[in-house]
Every structure is written in structure tokens, then in C-alpha cells.
Amino acid sequence: MEPFMIALGWAGLYGPMAMGAIGSIIGCALAGQAACGALLETDRGHGRYIGLSAMPSSQTIYGIVVMFSLNREVNLENAPGLFAVGILAGVALLYSGIRQGQCCASAINVSKSKPEIFGLSVAPAAIVEGFAVFAFIFALVISAGIPT
């Protein structure tokens, strides 16, 4: 049982970065596909479409910081805490990256027809980002209580 618990602790260390990166990959791909379509259909605003398609990449950065905050020697005393915080933060970052990419793709698609609402159309993606920040901050706070 001891090796299994240690393995779970290591999964918790790497989980936030890995799952945040997967969410960013999927989210950026979804938004990037919408941006590519917008490039064909519009004559201007290309930079903002490409820029918006990179918005879900922040989940990877949050995951890296959480990973570093959890980084410590893994033992039986701290492995459950590392696993719980790391995996739950990772799942939140994974899901928010995907959903933020969908929001960005929608913002790109709607602003093709009505460029004047681009700023408003980005609001849902910003709200999703806010929830990713909550998961990130709470993981940092909780990680301080995990034994070293």
C-alpha cells in the first residue's frame, strides 16, 4: 500500500500542470479553429482573433505554479494531501481551459458579424478565467497546510 500512496502523491504533484496543459491545448485548439475560420471570412480584426485564441493557455501557467507550490518530498504523511489538492486543482484547470476555449470560439464567431460587440463577447471567457483563478488561489492556500 505504501508504494501506491507514494505514487498518488507524485500524481498530485504533476497533475495540476498536466491537466492544465491538456485543458489549454484543447481550449486553444477550439478557439484557434474559430480564429482560422474568421480569418477567411473577415478583412480586419485578425490580430484580436488570434490573440483571443491564446486565452486558454493561462491554465497551464496556473498549473505550473500549483505544481511548484506542492513540490516537496513525497511521504506517507503528505501523499493524500498532495494527491487531493493536485488532482482537484488539475481537474478544475482542465475543465476551465476547455470551456474557456469554447467561450473564445463563440466570441470569435459572433464578432465576425458584429465587430462592435467584440469586447462584450469576451466577457464569458473572462468569467471562466475567474473561476480558474479561484481554483488556482485556493490550491495555493491549501498547499501551505500540507506537511513537508
What's the CATH architecture for 2-143? Up-down Bundle (1.20)
Residue 57 CB contacts under 8 Å (≥ 6 apart), including other chains: 24, 27, 28
Per-residue pLDDT of 92-147, as tens digits, reads: 999 999 999 999 999 999 999 899 999 999 999 999 999 999 999 999 999 999 99
Owner of C-alpha cell 490573440:
51
Query: How confident is the model over 27-80, as pLDDT tens digits?
Result: 999 999 999 999 998 888 889 999 999 999 999 999 999 999 999 999 999 999
Q: What is the DSSP string of 21-55?
A: HHHHHHHHHHHHHHHHHHHHH-SS-HHHHHHHHTG
**pTM exceeds 0.85:** yes
How does residue 88 score in pLDDT terms, banded at 50, 70 and 90? very high
Residue 138 backbone phi and psi in degrees, to 5: -65, -35
At 148 the pLDDT is 87
pLDDT at position 43: 86
Share the mean pLDDT of the chain.
96
Predicted pLDDT of residue 44: 84
Given this model, what pLDDT does residue 68 score? 97
